[in-house]
Amino acid sequence: MALIACITGVTSGIGKAAAERFMREGWKVVGTGRRADRLKALAAELGEAFYPLLFDVRDKEAVEEAFSSLPECFSPIDLLVNNAGLALGREPAWDALLDDWDTMVDTNIKGFYYCIKAVLAAMVKRGKGHIINIGSIAGSNGYPGGNTYSASKAFVHMFSQNLRCDLHGTGVRVTTVEPGMVESEFSLVRFKGDAQKADVYSDIDPLTTDDMADILYYVACLPQHVNISRVEVMPVCQSTAGFRLAAKSK
C-alpha cells in the first residue's frame, strides 16, 4: 500500500518539487494550495495519485474542513510536510507594514499549527507518522529587515522541539528542515512582484528546490526508529557570519 504525504504550499517552490519527488518514488500526495489555477494544473500534471486541497492555511475552518473531508484512499496521512509560508518586506521595523507582519504571523505561525493540529491526533492514535516542518536559518540568525519573518521561523523551530517532547513515546517523528538561500519565488513574493529587488540569485549558486526535495525525501524514508530532529542546510556560497554570500567562480 502506498504511503501518503500531505504537502502544504504545493503550487510552487519547495512544495511543488517535493510533491513531484515523492510521487516519483511511489507515494500518494495530498497537496494544498490557495491558488486554484496552479493547483488545478498541478493535479492534471501529476495524475490520480495526487489529491488537491484548495484552501488558505490562515483560514482555520477551511483547514479543518479540508482535512476532515479527505477520501479514504488519501487517508490516513503518513507524513505532513508543513511547507506553506512566506516573507513580506525587508524594511527596518519602524518602516515595516503592520499588515505584512500580520500576514506572516497568520501564515507562518497560525497556519503552520492549524495543519499540524489537523493530522496529529490520528497519527498519535495509530502510533506512527512524521511531521516535517520547514523552518529557516533565519529562525536562529537575525539579519536587518528580518524582524517578523525571522521571529516566525524561530517559532517553528521551538514549537517543533516542544512537539517532539509531547510526542515522546508515541512513535510519531518530528523534524525541522531549515534552509538558507533556495532559488524559488520566495524573494518575488517578499518584494511583492518587484523582479529587480527579487533578483538575488543571479551571481551565486543557491540551493535548488530539487535539492530540498531530495533532503525531505531522505529524512522521510529513514527507518522508523530514526528521528532526525533538525537539518540546517545552506549553499556552499553562504555562511551565517553576517549572512555572507560568495559570488560564482569565474
**Measured between alpha carbons, how far is 114 from 133 in angstroms, rounded to an integer?**
13
Q: Where are the beta strands (DSSP E) in 63-183?
A: 79-82, 129-134, 172-179
> Is 149 a catalytic site residue?
yes
Q: What share of the chain is helix, strand, coil (3-state, %, to 5)?
A: 45, 15, 40
Q: Which residue do the cell numbers 489529491 mark?
A: 51
Query: Cell digits for 122?
Result: 490520528
Q: Which residues contact 165 (CB under 8 A, 6 or more apart)?
A: none
Phi (first) and psi of residue 237, to 5 degrees = -75, -5
Cβ atoms < 10 Å from Cβ of 183: 18
Query: Rg of the chain over CA atoms, in angstroms?
Result: 18
User: If you count DSSP H runs as helices and E runs as strands, how many of each does the chain have, helices first?
Assistant: 9, 9
Whether 31 contacts 51, CB under 8 Å = yes
How far apart (Å, rounded) are the C-alpha atoms in residues 161 and 225? 18
CB 55 within 8 A of CB 34: yes
Q: Which of 149, 201, 217, 218 is catalytic?
A: 149
For the annotated catalytic residues, the residue numbers are: 149
